[in-house]
A and B are shown apart, each in its own frame.
Chain A
Amino acid sequence: MKLRRVRAIARKEFIHIFRDPRSLGMAIAIPMLLLMLYGYALTLDVDNVPLVVWDQSASQASREFISRFDGSRYFSVRGYVRTYREVEEAIDSAQALVALVIPRGFAGRIESGRPASVQLIVDGSDSNTATLAVTYADAVALAYSQQVAVGQIQRHGNRVPRAPLEFRPRVWFNADMESRNYIIPGLIAVIMMVIAAMLTSLTVAREWERGTMEQLISTPVKGRELILGKLIPYFSIGLFDVLLAVLMGEFVFRVPLRGSVALLFTCAAIFLAGAMSLGLLISIVTKSQLLANQLAMVMTFVPALLLSGFVFAIANMPKPLQLITYLIPARYFVALLKGIYLKGVGLEILAGEAALLTLFGAAMVLLANITFKKKLV
């Protein structure tokens, strides 16, 4: 390994990147764009579910009940209707996902302490949102009926009995249960996987296509010098991307970073070396920019998105699929980032993931070196 050659190659690659606005755009702008896009679009929280109300009771009691829905962050009243037909129309046209129907005798039954029933109609075509909406509505209704019950007891001059069981849930690591807080760290991992492999997937293939590789392999340059020289610039850009992503997480998405920043960047460096060597490997094998680019996309994006545990918990997958996820390098990086970001844990907990990530990185670097041959054909 001769450093002067590595330096010459790294320098040349830097020039290629900085002279080509497209490659620079792909390296810097696309990851940021993806982070913005997915960071905002991929929210799993259900807020402000649109609601229509058919208030047949039209009483003070019913209005108070409705205000409980409207006052919560989970629902927003979009309109009042007066027939089932209109309820149907509102749900069909997606103007509302939920309809609340309060019967005529509602106020009277509440006053007299008799049980009253209220109908909730939910659009089940998005089952995730529907389930959450029903749960929220349940909670609102429960709180309201407790208040009514307490009021009645007090009116009769009795002491309010203590609830036999008081349930006090506390959610750790993501106290507000903001889905953004666990999506962003995973998202950084997925985006870096795709971008890293894509960036390097072109570099060797381009030299074969343009004929410059034929000249290069007739010189005494060593394969490992060439690979290292090509990795250095892309690796620097990759680390810069990670830095930008972390800054965006901090200042744009306000995701708390509880763990060690140094550990985060060390893991990112190992991960980048592996993902970029995978890109190089693809480039070396295909010798075609188009094919390499597509292959890099397919090999990284879909597995990283679906099988890394980024959105879909690995523990909920069928066993065979769980086994396959061990082959997805993004899985380890996602686990590491989530651990560092949300739990603030270090290597004492994440050593397994870190070891497997390092194994992946080393294997890819080695494979790229073995596969590159200084021969035509």
Chain B
Amino acid sequence: MNEVGTDKAVVVENLERRFGSFVAVNRISFEVAKGEIFGFLGPNGAGKSTTIRMLTGILAPSSGTGSVAGFDVRTEAEKIKAHIGYMSQKFSLYEDLTVEENIDFYSGIYRLLPEKKQERKEWVIEMAGLREHRHSRTAILSGGWKQRLALGCAILHEPPIIFLDEPTSGVDPISRRQFWDLIYELAGRGVTVFVTTHYMDEAEYCDRIALIYRGELIALGTPATLKTELMQEEVLEVLSERPQDAMDGIAALAGVKEVALFGRGLHVVAEDGESVAEGIREHLTKKGFAVERVEKIVPSLEDVFVSLIEARDRAEQAQQAVQA
């Protein structure tokens, strides 16, 4: 075995993938520790799936290096495949096969021993809550069931690392919650979970998050670090009467960078929270809006990411303007 650091499940350095002239993943580098839940967050088309496909050995990188479970993604893809479980974005089981037939098929592919096979099959059926549907064709199952069954089939062989590509897209909130309980359970047993998502709330469940945008890694850290350290501006929560009507007036105030509706109030992004808070109070009172509260809060991940992405876009535009 090619030991690349015993506590690392995934190591990536300058990994790049181009499709023609389009750069889908632009020289990203990061590490994932063993037993970690690592969230890969970004909008659609940011390069999340491309990255996960390179790590699972089903897509060759254009350049850069990476290792998964100690194996090189460029030269030892087949060895990686024996040590991981992968669940692709699209439902990838056979719809004309029954629940049991799908499980049997994958236990055959992973060559589980007969006694192990039976045990794992029961485990998957229990875990996915499919006891009553074990002889049903998977085509008739609901989204949540399909997802759990797909996860079960991907981890029949109890791999130490699992890759989940948007596992909860298109699934109802309760099923999503159950799915995350499963992920925690797996992580609790020491399994490394690499999961992509575009749901902000899901990102909060991860030990660490990488934000990927237009193929580039623009932030990396624990949810807490990202929220407290990465955002230069401060966020104020404003609770007042008719927040929608109050928005425009606040946006025009000096020092306010951005105003957005959030829950039943407003989130205001400003360089200097203290002084702007005073200004907002005065402004709202003067205009006759009853003010309930104006205070500095810890930004949500969404605030952080929107701010980071906008900063990135502004920098890019400036660069283009200079080049032009």
Given A12-B101, A376-B53, A376-B59, decide whether A215 and B108 contact each other with a Cβ distance below 8 A: no
Cβ contacts A1-24/B at 8 Å (1 or 0 each): 010110111011001100110000
Does B91 lie within 8 Å of A211, measured CB to CB? yes
Task: Tell me the bound Cα distance from A221 to B57 in angstroms.
Answer: 13
By the criterion of a CB under 8 Å from any partner CB, how many residues of chain B are at the interface? 35
Task: Tell me the bound Cα distance from A19 to B139 in angstroms.
Answer: 13
User: Which chain B residue shows the least CB distance to A20?
Assistant: B96
Asked if B46 is at the interface (CB within 8 A of a chain A CB), the reply is no
Cβ contacts B57-95/A at 8 Å (1 or 0 each): 111100000000000000001100110101110111111
Task: Tell me the bound Cα distance from A220 to B93 in angstroms.
Answer: 17
Does B92 lie within 8 Å of A214, measured CB to CB? yes
> B56: which A residues are within 8 A, CB to CB?
218
> B88: which A residues are within 8 A, CB to CB?
211, 214-215, 218
Does B59 lie within 8 Å of A377, measured CB to CB? yes
**In the complex, which of the residues A9, A214, A216, A375 contacts B90, with contact meaning CB atoms closer than 8 Å?**
A214
Does B90 lie within 8 Å of A16, measured CB to CB? no
Given A16-B96, A376-B53, decide whether A11 and B58 contact each other with a Cβ distance below 8 A: no
**In the complex, which of the residues B19, B60, B86, B108 contacts A11, with contact meaning CB atoms closer than 8 Å?**
B108
Does B92 lie within 8 Å of A12, measured CB to CB? no
Task: Tell me the bound Cα distance from A375 to B77 in angstroms.
Answer: 10
Task: Tell me the bound Cα distance from A215 to B52 in angstroms.
Answer: 13
Does A212 lie within 8 Å of B94, measured CB to CB? yes
Task: Tell me the bound Cα distance from A215 to B59 in angstroms.
Answer: 13
Cβ contacts B94-138/A at 8 Å (1 or 0 each): 111100010011111111000000000000000000000000000
Task: Tell me the bound Cα distance from A369 to B57 in angstroms.
Answer: 19
Asked if B294 is at the interface (CB within 8 A of a chain A CB), the reply is no
User: Which chain B residue shows the least CB distance to A374?
Assistant: B58
Does A219 lie within 8 Å of B109, measured CB to CB? yes
Task: Tell me the bound Cα distance from A32 to B81 in angstroms.
Answer: 44
User: Which chain B residue shows the least CB distance to A226?
Assistant: B109
**A232 CB, min distance to chain B CBs, angstroms:** 13
Does A12 lie within 8 Å of B97, measured CB to CB? yes
Task: Tell me the bound Cα distance from A7 to B93 in angstroms.
Answer: 18
Does B93 lie within 8 Å of A212, measured CB to CB? yes
Does A15 lie within 8 Å of B59, measured CB to CB? no
Does B104 lie within 8 Å of A220, measured CB to CB? no
Given A15-B101, A218-B81, decide whether A8 and B108 contact each other with a Cβ distance below 8 A: yes
Asked if B154 is at the interface (CB within 8 A of a chain A CB), the reply is yes
Does B59 lie within 8 Å of A375, measured CB to CB? yes
Asked if A217 is at the interface (CB within 8 A of a chain B CB), the reply is yes
Given A11-B105, A374-B58, A376-B53, decide whether A218 and B96 contact each other with a Cβ distance below 8 A: no
Task: Tell me the bound Cα distance from A215 to B87 in angstroms.
Answer: 7
> A215: which B residues are within 8 A, CB to CB?
86-88, 92-93, 150, 153-154
**A156 CB, min distance to chain B CBs, angstroms:** 88
**A208 CB, min distance to chain B CBs, angstroms:** 11
> B97: which A residues are within 8 A, CB to CB?
12, 15-16
Cβ contacts A202-214/B at 8 Å (1 or 0 each): 0000000011101
**In the complex, which of the residues B53, B93, B94, B110 contacts A219, with contact meaning CB atoms closer than 8 Å?**
B110
Does A7 lie within 8 Å of B108, measured CB to CB? yes
**B7 CB, min distance to chain A CBs, angstroms:** 24
Interface set, chain A 10-42, CB cutoff 8 A to B: 11-12, 15-16, 19-20
User: Which chain A residue shows the least CB distance to B50?
Assistant: A376
Given A218-B56, A376-B59, decide whether A19 and B96 contact each other with a Cβ distance below 8 A: yes
Given A11-B105, A11-B108, A218-B86, decide whether A375 and B92 contact each other with a Cβ distance below 8 A: no
**A14 CB, min distance to chain B CBs, angstroms:** 11
Task: Tell me the bound Cα distance from A226 to B19 in angstroms.
Answer: 28
Does B110 lie within 8 Å of A375, measured CB to CB? no
> B106: which A residues are within 8 A, CB to CB?
8, 219
User: Which chain B residue shows the least CB distance to A10?
Assistant: B108
User: Which chain A residue shows the least CB distance to B19?
Assistant: A377
**A175 CB, min distance to chain B CBs, angstroms:** 52
> B86: which A residues are within 8 A, CB to CB?
215, 218
**In the complex, which of the residues A8, A16, A20, A376 contacts B109, with contact meaning CB atoms closer than 8 Å?**
A8
Cβ contacts A292-335/B at 8 Å (1 or 0 each): 00000000000000000000000000000000000000000000
Interface set of A (CB-CB < 8 Å, partner B) = 2, 4-5, 7-9, 11-12, 15-16, 19-20, 210-212, 214-221, 374-377
Some 23 contacts from A to B, beta carbons below 8 A apart, are A4-B111, A7-B108, A8-B109, A9-B108, A11-B105, A12-B97, A16-B96, A211-B90, A211-B92, A212-B92, A215-B86, A218-B58, A218-B84, A218-B86, A219-B81, A219-B109, A219-B110, A220-B82, A220-B110, A374-B78, A375-B60, A376-B58, A377-B60
